[in-house]
Structure 1
Amino acid sequence: MIDITAHLVRALISTQFPAWSELPVRPVDRQGWDNRTFRLGEELTVRLPSAQGYAAAVTKEDRCLPGLARHVPLPVPEPVAVGAPGAGYPYAWSVRRWLPGDTVEVAPGVDRTRLARDLGDFLRDLRGAPPGRGPAAGRHSYYRGCHPSVYGDEVEQALDRLADAVDVAACRAVWAQALTSAWPSAPTARRTATWPSGTSSPGTAPSRPSSTSVPPASATPPVTSSWPGRTSPARNGRSSVRRPVSPTTPGTGPVAGRCGRPW
């Protein structure tokens, strides 16, 4: 991965967005894996992909986040500008509005029941948002959001390794049932496409004293089903909000678009 420093960010800003060149640059306290994030003054952030595999998200999010913001009940990152490669950095990068707060896993005094309801509201409305110009799942999403068959090799390898720890036959039965699910033929598939989120975890959801903000970092990964350390009231709160969304029964309806993998 590239060594992304505040010095590099200052060089990119000064050459491409000189109006912001006097603003201080400092790294955020907790960095992600896919991107490195820096504060730019008090109202902006600079977000830079850490490797080539994550670079496609810059233009995808710049195109999709403004539209999604109109359909979800919590703030999402607002794109302000997109930068070009430069100063030895090879990828596009983005400038966004800063969302104040701290991640749920370290924020003090979080009301977990309210948090679960806020998260449920967000995921429900995200799923109901029109797909618009959103990208189909594929290589750019590491095939998350594709038909589960793309993970067939990994599933078989995992079952082989866990043969002494799990009921392999039962697991294979569940997997076989999941593999019977597929999008119906287009154009129906276009009308049933949804926006899932794969980053609704305590380490990625920022919280503020008055609310929770759960911005999507990607348009296609699947929704995670559990949070570490969730209490029963919080779990029930999320489930009660999520319930109005009609679930897909494995083997009977669409769950994801089919994608090919090169391996």
Structure 2
Amino acid sequence: MTSTDTLADVPVDETLLRSLLKEQHPDLADLEVGPVFRGWDNELWRLGEELAVRLPRTPRAPELLAKEYRWLPVLAPRLPLPVPTPVRLGRPSSLFPAAWTVVEWVPGDPADRVPVTRADHAADALAGFLRALHRPAPADAPANPDRGVPLATFASRVEETLRTTDFGEFATDDIREVWEAGLAAPVRQEPALWLHGDLHPANVVVADGTLTGVVDFGELCAGDPATDLSAAWMLLPDGAAARFLESYGTHDTALITRARAWATARAFGLIAIGQAGDQGLPGGKPTWGPAGWATLRRVLADTGT
């Protein structure tokens, strides 16, 4: 059987997908299939009107799908926005070497492709979603080395980016000030909360100008909610962060300062991935670069938030 290290090389088409369904979930095998969407770790195929199939395409993807399958059904009932709750599990077989899932379809267009235009509505929707999600996590909740952790964990990476990147219209010293303020802010001491962990524009969907769903819970973990609050600057239109924070219900200066620093660090990642796409490098996502630059612009404009 093919190793999961080479999942990206396993050819996947409608014929294979139907064969997998007939083998393991025959009651779904006759539903309409397509189109396909390629994410960072998984390939997503529409399945009928209400479902989708997620097939892992990177070595780490099966573990992320397993985490979603374990935890998202527990969390989904309390969340006010639709999420891709897993409803079936596909096992590794001779047809495909890794586990895969069937999930509920979340309608809408990714926010890196369709802009949010109803700023207040989207700010309230995002705040309501995170208020519902951000509750104390159990002891066996997953940890994540790059999410929900103290900012000092990846300070050297951020410093390298600050030293080596041309930020164009943005002054490096201004960006550094936001980052260093986050580093200097008190580290969270309260119990870890549930986090989405990856709220960038490609992981939320938009309809009628506002946020209508949240997808891709592969980075789901427990930790500091500042990681998720960075979405105020990553997802929402210019100037909407204050409305979001008021709706979320926090005036914790240290938390907000850490969240702005998180947004800065996440923007660096979006920009780098966007540039990889512009250069035709594997894994590049050309739509992510503009989202990263927009995040920096919003963070620097909201110095008084």
- After TM superposition, is the score higher than 0.5? yes
Letter aligned with residue 84 of structure 2: P
Specify the alignment match of 2:44 in structure 1.
Answer: 37
In 2, the alpha carbon distance for the partners of 1:12 and 1:88 equals 7
The unaligned stretches of length 5 or more in structure 2 are 1-7, 259-305
- Structure with greater helix percent: 2
Does the 8 Å CA contact 1:76/1:214 hold for their aligned counterparts?
Answer: yes
Q: CA deviation at 1:229?
A: 7.2
Q: CA deviation at 1:49?
A: 1.6
Specify the alignment match of 2:128 in structure 1.
Answer: 121
Candidates 125, 130, 138, aligned match of 2:136:
130
Candidates 4, 11, 20, aligned match of 2:19:
11
Root-mean-square deviation (CA, aligned residues, Å) is 3.6
Specify the alignment match of 1:111 in structure 2.
Answer: 118
Aligned to 1:151, what secondary structure does the other structure show? helix
Output the TM-score relative to the length of structure 1.
Answer: 0.74
Does the 8 Å CA contact 2:119/2:236 hold for their aligned counterparts?
Answer: no
Deviations 1:80-128 (A, max 9, x none): 111112244322111112222333455589523211210111122211x
Report percent identity of matched pairs.
30
Specify the alignment match of 1:146 in structure 2.
Answer: 149
Alignment of 1:157-196 (within 5 A): 157-162=160-165, 166-167=172-173, 171=176, 174-175=179-180, 178=183, 182=187, 184=189, 192-196=191-195
Letter aligned with residue 164 of structure 2: R
Identify the structure with bigger relative contact order (alpha carbons < 8 Å, sequence gap 6+): 1
Does the 8 Å CA contact 1:6/1:27 hold for their aligned counterparts?
Answer: no
The unaligned stretches of length 5 or more in structure 1 are 253-263
Specify the alignment match of 1:213 in structure 2.
Answer: 213
Q: CA deviation at 1:79?
A: 1.4
In 1, the alpha carbon distance for the partners of 2:102 and 2:186 equals 39
Q: CA deviation at 1:243?
A: 3.6
Candidates 46, 49, 61, aligned match of 2:53:
46
Q: Give the aligned length.
A: 240
Does the 8 Å CA contact 1:119/1:214 hold for their aligned counterparts?
Answer: no
Output the TM-score relative to the length of structure 2.
Answer: 0.65
In 2, the alpha carbon distance for the partners of 1:45 and 1:158 equals 37
Letter aligned with residue 19 of structure 1: D
Q: CA deviation at 1:242?
A: 2.5
Candidates 217, 233, 238, aligned match of 1:231:
238
